[in-house]
Copies of this chain bind each other. A is one copy, B any other.
C-alpha cells in the first residue's frame, strides 16, 4: 500500500496550483461579471478572461489533462483524479480553462474510443483544440431516465439518413451557441433485446428540425458558465448514416463506457468544491461573533467542521481507489466501487455545503458566496446518471449475489 503520489502527478499538481493561484482564483469574480454582461451569457466560450486562461493553460502543459492516450496528456485515472480535485475548487472557471469541462470531456473520450476517423477529424479535433463545444442528449422529460432503456427518442433509418424524433431536457451546454453538435441517444430498433435497442448519433446544431426550446433552471440557477441546461426538440431531424457512433444497437454499451471516468471527474471536482466550502466555513466561523464568542469557538460549529473533515477524507480515498482499480483491472472490475462513489459523493458533500451555508447566515444562500450555487450543483449529482436510489438498488443486488456465492463456497451444507 502506498498513499503517496508519483513524481509526474506531483509536478503537474504544483504547476496547476500555481496556475490556480495566479490566474484562476484572482479572476473568478470578474469572470462571473463578464458572463453576466455578455449579450449571450451562455456563450461563455467567448469570454476574454476564459480565453486568456486557456492560452496560459496550454503554455503550461495543462491542456486536455483528462484524456488518456496519445491525443491527450496520457495520465492514468489516479493521476488525473488528483488534478481534477484542484480544478473543482473553482469549478465554474478552471475546468473550462484546461479544456477539461463536462460534457465535452465525456464526448471527447467517446469519440476517441468509438468514433470513426472521419468523426474524429470533424468533431474530436476541434473539441480537443477548444474551438467548439458539444453536448450529450440523453435525459427525456416524459420518462424516468434512471432506466436507460426507457429512452423514447427514435432514430429511424431512411436510406442514407437517420431521422430523429423526440424531446430531451437538462442537456448541459445546449444553450451555448458554440456547442456545435449533440451526441443523441435514441432507439434505432425498439423490437430488439432490451439493451440493444439504443444507438448514439452525432447531430450538428444547425440541422433543420432541431430546436433548443428553453433553459432548464437548477434551483433558480441558469449555469451560464457551462452553457446552461437546455430542453431540445428533435422534429424529423435528418443526419447522414455516417454520423452514427459505433454500430446500431451499441448505444447502451457506449453510454456505460462513458460513465466510469466521468464519475471519477465529477466526484473529485466535488471533493475540491467541498474543500473550498470547508475553507469558507472556517474563515467565516473565525470572523463572526455572536453572544460573546466567535462562531469557531461554538461546539456545534466545531462539530460540523470535524464531521466535514471526516467525511471528505474518507470519500477522497474511496474515489482514488476506484480510479486505481479502473487503471489496474478496468472499468468492469471497478463496477462496485464506481457505484459506491456515485452514492457516497453527493450525500457527503451536500451535507458539507449545507453546513457551510448555515455558518454564513442568510448571506450563504445569496449570490455573494458560491455556496448556494454549489449546493444546487451537488444536489443535481443525486440525479445525474440516474438517481442514487437506482444505484443503491443495483449495488445491493450485486452484494447479495456476491454473498450468496461466498456462502455456497464456504458452507457446502447449510446457511
Contacts and interface: CB of A to CB of B under 8 A. Distances in A.
A170 B361 CA distance: 11
Interface in A379-396: 379-380, 382-383, 387, 389-393, 395-396
Given A302-B392, A361-B383, A372 B220 contact: yes
Nearest to A309: B399
B1 A365 contact: no
A313 B306 contact: no
A5 interface: yes
Contacts of A282: 399-400, 403-404
A85 interface: no
B144 A321 contact: no
Contact of A317 (B218, B314, B380, B399): B314
Interface of A: 1-6, 21, 78, 139, 141, 143-147, 150, 169-170, 216-222, 278-279, 282-283, 285-291, 295-296, 298-307, 309-310, 313-315, 317-318, 320-321, 324-325, 328, 336-337, 340, 343-344, 357-358, 361-363, 365-368, 372-373, 375-376, 379-380, 382-383, 387, 389-393, 395-397, 399-400, 403-404, 406-407, 410, 415
Given A286-B404, A299-B303, A310-B344, 7 more contacts: A218-B365, A219-B375, A303-B396, A305-B395, A310-B343, A313-B337, A317-B321
